Amino acid sequence: MSDLLKSYRFREERESDWRKLDLILTRAENSGVRALSDEDMTALPRLYRQAVSSLSVARSISLDQNVIAYLESLCTRAYFFVYGARTSIGERMMDFLRRDWPACVSSATGPTLLAALFLFGGWALAFFLCMQDMEWFWTFHGQNFWDGRNPDASVEYLRSTIYTDEGEISDGQLTSFASFLFNNNAQISLFAFALGFAFGIPTAWLLLYNGVMMGSLHAVFWNKGLGYEFTGWLMIHGTTELFAIVLAGAAGFVIGGAVAFPGQMTRLNSARHAGQKAASIAMGCVIMLIIAALLEGFGRQLINSDAIRYTVALSILGLWCAYFYLPRRAGPV
């Protein structure tokens, strides 16, 4: 035996354990943690530690590159498995809804206010400009926008666009319209989040632009004496939808702020911290927009009474605020 290499004897003594670990990992990677038996789970930490120490020893005594490459990949896989996440998707989702999301939103009140300022600032600007001189509407929109809902339209026509007559609607149209709007809004809000990376400037512009669009349209209806009715029509889903867009903008500002003003941290670290928080907020926006689309597709067209519209809108807004901003008991971490 003496003429066998030291490194070979080293390998021979440990090889069966390496292969055992390899087998466990392969099984876990292919069919999940549940596929592992209790013995596997108890053996895993020992086998992992042994593989890691084998790797350090092999690096200093063996020149067999296959063994070293094998151990490197084995240890990497084992490391990611041993220190990887163990929670199931369901648990994560519950955690997100119960704690993560509201916590992230309530810790970003500053950016939220800023985003709201841009959106509603643009809104107010366009509204007052248009109220003074309707020519501004054409400047903002160009021709043929919002299928005839413009300053030249008659009051009756405008009224017909915000109330639905009995028997006029078919379910199919409602859903397809709602899903189209959801697609559009969700894509825009993800966009607002992503654009935050460019120091938040494009995000601000996007919010301002959307505010101007809505503000000028608002002015058209207001001018024809339909202000109260239009607000109700808009608010029933708008409280949720606009809140979501404001939050998406806030997520963009969180990132933009962290990249532009990292403070004590390095720029990379600051971006990472902000990114985690902002991503939660953006994910939440998608959920809010799904709810908004449901309200829009069904609620808005089926409820034609102004009073009920306002009640629904304000109670939903109240629910969102309570969900996000009411202090909650610190749960077990």
Report 44-63 residues binding another protein (CB under 8 A): 49, 52-53, 55-56, 60-63
| Residue with token string 């009051």 | 155
Span near another protein by CB under 8 A; candidates 16-24, 130-138, 154-162, 315-323:
16-24
Q: Kindly tell me which residue out of 66, 143, 144, 264 binds another protein, with binding defined by CB under 8 A.
A: 66
**Alpha-helical runs (H) found in the chain:** 6-31, 38-61, 65-82, 89-95, 101-106, 109-132, 135-141, 155-162, 171-195, 201-223, 227-260, 267-294, 300-302, 306-325
How big is the site for another protein, counted in residues (CB under 8 A)? 80
Q: Which two tokens stand for residue 209?
A: 């632009």
Q: Rounded to a whole number, what is the distance in angstroms from the first to the last CA of the chain?
A: 56
Q: Which is nearer to another protein, 186 or 247 (CB)?
A: 186
Q: Which is nearer to another protein, 120 or 140 (CB)?
A: 140
Note whether 191 binds another protein by CB under 8 A. yes
Q: Kindly tell me which residue out of 7, 106, 161, 223 binds another protein, with binding defined by CB under 8 A.
A: 7
Q: How far is the CB of 310 from another protein (least distance, A)?
A: 28
Span near another protein by CB under 8 A; candidates 28-36, 131-139, 149-157, 324-332:
28-36
Note whether 13 binds another protein by CB under 8 A. no
Sign of CA dihedral 287, 289, 291, 297: negative
Rounded to whole angstroms, the Cα distance separating 134 from 127 reads 10
Per CB under 8 A, which of residues 196..255 are in contact with another protein?
197-198, 255
Rounded to whole angstroms, the Cα distance separating 78 from 50 reads 11
Q: Kindly tell me which residue out of 23, 37, 41, 80 binds another protein, with binding defined by CB under 8 A.
A: 80
Amino acid residing at 224: K
Q: How many other β-carbons are positioned within 10 Å of the β-carbon of residue 284?
A: 23
Sign of CA dihedral 86, 90, 95, 96: positive
Note whether 328 binds another protein by CB under 8 A. no
Q: How far is the CB of 97 from another protein (least distance, A)?
A: 12
Rounded to whole angstroms, the Cα distance separating 235 from 229 reads 10
If you compute the radius of gyration of the chain from its CA atoms, what whole number of angstroms results? Answer: 29
Q: How far is the CB of 111 from another protein (least distance, A)?
A: 15
Q: Kindly tell me which residue out of 21, 44, 47, 70 binds another protein, with binding defined by CB under 8 A.
A: 70
Note whether 279 binds another protein by CB under 8 A. yes
Rounded to whole angstroms, the Cα distance separating 249 from 246 reads 5
Q: Kindly tell me which residue out of 272, 302, 314, 321 binds another protein, with binding defined by CB under 8 A.
A: 272
Note whether 28 binds another protein by CB under 8 A. yes
Q: How many other β-carbons are positioned within 10 Å of the β-carbon of residue 107?
A: 13
Per CB under 8 A, which of residues 91..150 are in contact with another protein?
92, 96, 100
Q: How far is the CB of 322 from another protein (least distance, A)?
A: 24
Q: Kindly tell me which residue out of 119, 186, 204, 250 binds another protein, with binding defined by CB under 8 A.
A: 186
